[in-house]
Amino acid sequence: MVHGGESNPGYCRKRLLRGQHGRQRQFEKANRVGNEAGAEYRLTYDEFHAGEANERYDAVYIATPNATHLDFAESAVDFGKAILCEKPMEATTARAEKVVKACENAGATLMVGYRMHTNPAVRRMRELVREGFVGDPALVEGTMCQNVFETISPDPNQWRLDADLAGGSALIDLGIYPLNTARFVLDTDPVSAQGTTNSPHEHFSEVDQHVAFEVEFENGVTSACVAASTPPSEANSRSSERKAD
């Protein structure tokens, strides 16, 4: 188990393994996570990449900072392991495509840790739309909000607010929920999109804190979505203000 524009992968990996977490912190984190999970074997990041004890596991769950997923995926496929990768797959499209290519070349199973299409309520929603229960869809509205300081970590220096390690915030981390739910329920893909981002809080100086976007699908249906790393009330308030303007 591994926890935790084209970004500079060497910089990101060095920062993750030797700067931000350091060797001692790697050991401490490996032991803490191992104790929580009841794991018999615990590996630091360096030990994982070196292939230590790779005969002891069959698959790898990658939940490190976004811009390091490619490094861990390449090591995993080198060891012949299946991969469950947290979303987003990487910090940029180019690096995400490299993850896919590496798995294809190695014949390795790759799955992204995105759950909405497996949710019974969402699957039932798609069935109802297909059966015509709601008539012909014309507009889909979606909101996904989360206060990162309350639900993830109160640390203003966490990697999720670092552009090099995260690649973004509201759009790629939260905006995918209303977007992909709409894609799944409507069973169609976007043909155009437009949107705006906003980062009023000082801790979000490097990444997007709020995003509002509109997507048009192949079947003519429009989706209006809002995502924010703030409490829902604030996100909805900002969305209403933008529409009013």
Assess whether 87 carries a catalytic annotation.
yes
**What is the C-alpha to C-alpha distance for residues 92 and 70, in angstroms, rounded to an integer?**
10
SS (H, E, C) the chain: CECCCCCCHHHHHHHHHHHHCHHHHHHHHHHHHHHHHCCCCCCCHHHHHCCCCHHHCCEEEECCCHHHHHHHHHHHHHCCCEEEEECCCCCCHHHHHHHHHHHHHHCCCEEEECCHHHCHHHHHHHHHHHCCCCCCCCEEEEEEECCHHHHCCCCCCCHHHCHHHHCCCHHHHHHHHHHHHHHHHHCCCEEEEEEEEECCCHHHCCCCCEEEEEEEECCCCEEEEEEECCCHHHHHHHHHHHHHC
Catalytic option among 45, 61, 98, 177: 177
Query: Known catalytic residue: 177?
Result: yes
What pairs with residue 214 in β-bridges?
A: 194, 224
Candidate list 29, 57, 87, 114, residue with the active-site label: 87
**Enzyme catalytic residues:** 87, 177
